[in-house]
Every structure is written in C-alpha cells, then in structure tokens.
Amino acid sequence: MFSHRASIASALHSFRLDGRMMCYEKFVPKLYNWCLSLGFTPGKIMPSRAFCSDESQGFPIILLAKHFGAFPFNHGRVGGIVSVDRHSPHADHGKDLVLLQASHVGYDAETGKFGVYRRLSAEDEHLSCSCGKVGRVLDWYMTEYSYACENIRLLRHEGQLAVLVDYQLIASPRAQGLFLIFENLAQGAVGEELPPPLATRSTGHIFAASSDFIARIGVDTWPLTGSTPIGEHLAAEDFYFRHKSGYLDPLQDQLENNLLAPMPWILTSKHPLLTAACANTLAEFDRTYRSLVQTSAMNGRNVVFIAGLNIDISPSPGEQFPQTKFVPWAAYLQHADGRREILEQDELIEHLGHADTANPAQIDLELAIAIMAAKPATEVHL
C-alpha cells in the first residue's frame, strides 16, 4: 500500500480519529442492525475477528458473541494481522459473513498517554506497552532513529552553516539501518548521493547545509560555537529504513512489512504506537480486501469486512474490562448477488450512525451458561 513516499503522510492524515470513536457497547449492536439492513439473515451470521491476542481485546469479543449469537471465528494474529488463508474456513461456518479487523493501542486516561495499558492480572497492576508486538517492532527502529538524531549535528564551519554526519550513517553498502536522503540536508547532494565534504572529522564528514534545510529549521537553530544534535529537526521526509527479517513464517513478518515504509512518520509523530496502529490498519484493510475478492468460497454470500482501530482505555480500580473505543476506517461490502462496494471512513460512519443500538435478538450470556450448566450430561462413547 505504501509504495510511494509522497503518499504516506497523506494516507496517515486521512485516518481521522476526532469525532469518529464509538464505544463497543454501541458499535456492535449498530453493526448487527446494519448487517440486517443489508439483507443478512438473523441467526445465520458468522462473525469473525482479526484482533491481537492481548487480553484487552476480550471485551469486544464478548460483545460480538452477545449480539450476533455466535462466538466469533478467529481470523487474527498478534498485532492485528489478518490470516487471509482462513477466509474459506470462515465461509464454511456461516451463511452470511462479518469480518472485523482492528489494530489496537492502549490509552491511560490519567496521563493522556497512548501505547500503555494497565495489567490487572499482574501482581502490581502495572502499566505496560500495548500493543506489545508493535512496541517490540518499533524498538529497533527507534534506536536507529535516536542515534541519527544525536549523531547528525548542526555547526558552523568557517562561518558557513553546516551539517556533521556520522560515518555510520554514510557507510555503504549496508544491508539494513537508517538511510538519509541527503539532498534534504546537504548542499549539492542529489537524492542519496553525497557532495564533496567541506571537511572531515574523526567520526564523520562536514557538509554545507542545503538552502531548503536552512529555510525549514531557521538560521537561529545553528549554535554560534560548537555543535548541537539535529534532534527533532530530522523530519520523516529526510530518511527511510531497510531491515532484514528472519522469520520462517511470512505472517510473522507482515506487521513489520506493513510498518516499514511509514516508519519515519511513525517515529516522528506525537504518539508513535497510535500512528503505528493506524498505519497497520490501513495496510491490513487493503491487503485483506484484495484477498477476499479472490476467494471463491465468498462467492454468492453477503459479506461485510470492516477495518479500524481499537483504543483500549485502561480499567479503573474495581473495573474488570477496559472501555474500548472503535474507530472505523473503511468497509468492503459484498452482496449475495455479486455487487461489491467500498465505503470510506466518513461514509461508513454515516451508515453505522443510522443503525439502531437496540438489539432484541442479543443473547443473555448468563442465561445461556445457566441452561448449559443445568443440562444433563451427555455421554461420549468411544
């Protein structure tokens, strides 16, 4: 999806959150009633979810079971990756099909911080990274980025505004690491090709700063003496990554593949884990939609596929579940007669907004469990 750098910032900016969040208690019955309005058959709808394995995702799964009357099929891998090879098995389990993909990110209301979640089952009920899988993927890239922010330095060389670039960021060839787009930083550079340096230091080369770079960050950013790290002035447009993965299972690489191109925008954003979750949702919708239209088992069926973001608000003392908010991104609709359509974010939210939150068909989970508990034991004969 993210094949052109110029489109990445636009794609991420298009995923809007403000005014588009729905609490799961309202979202799931709205989803059920919307499906009925599309001609889905009550009692014959098999929901499926592609969520991360985090315990914070349990409450949405319970609500899906409650309102659709069936425990949802599992389409998901850790990190919110869709197992596209499960479409045919999913189709075998129901007449009409609903697939909900959601990347997730934790949120702590006390601090306003994204990417953390309170672990109630831990001895000290501590906050930890959520989504942990995304966090682990980001760690390597954050280390590379932090090194670049510290070891690209602004200085004045013989009165000229200049940039000192560490040899490690210039070394070539390299199989992986952070790669600079030098023309954004150094005068006379073309793309990634460096101009002759003004001078050489023991750990790097000094280059004249480009006029565009000077205009972007301002002359006053350069110190009068000594040097200062480029820091936050190293913008997403100034670099990209290459990283070699070694997993034998291709789906283990999928999350990192989804995040590789937008990684500079993720790391330079205000909330990196939130931005990463949004980027993953964008990529998974595109990848999953294209796999659904090529799956013959889906032919002649009503299908709704929605991708979005789960925001897991840490439970307060005395609460068992998070208050999970869902932010829809896009939907793919397939009608039994073969008609297909894509709903973009605002259009999807409009459709869901018109759906009712009342669902008389929802099951009473406590009653259902009580009925099963009171049922005479069935003998299993070998």
Pairing of β 199-200 and β 204-208: antiparallel
Per-residue pLDDT reduced to its tens digit, 30-51? 999 999 999 999 999 999 999 9
Residue 111 · residue 320 · CB < 8 Å: no
More reliable by pLDDT, 101 or 111: 101
With residue 256 as reference, give the H or E element that holds it: helix 250-260
The pLDDT value recorded for residue 136 is: 93
pLDDT over threshold 60, residue 297:
yes
The structure's pTM equals 0.93
The pLDDT value recorded for residue 159 is: 93
Q: What is the mean pLDDT of residues 334-348?
A: 97
pLDDT over threshold 90, residue 29:
yes
pLDDT over threshold 60, residue 248:
no
pLDDT over threshold 60, residue 268:
yes
SS3 70: coil
Nearest to 170 by CA among 142, 199, 148: 148
Distance CA 136, CA 275 (A): 15
Cα 113 from chain centroid? Answer: 16
User: Where do we find the tokens 């929605």?
Assistant: 306
At what angle are helices 24-37 and 345-354 packed, to 10 degrees?
90
Residue 245, φ and ψ in degrees, nearest 5:
-105, 155
Q: From the CA atom positions of the chain, what is the Rg in Å?
A: 25
Distance CA 262, CA 257 (A): 10
- The chain-wide mean pLDDT, for the chain, equals 93
Share of the chain above pLDDT 70, in %: 97
Confidence of residue 237 (pLDDT cuts 50, 70, 90): very high
Per-residue pLDDT reduced to its tens digit, 71-105? 999 999 999 999 999 999 999 999 999 999 999 99
The pLDDT value recorded for residue 105 is: 96
Distance CA 87, CA 78 (A): 18
Confidence of residue 60 (pLDDT cuts 50, 70, 90): very high
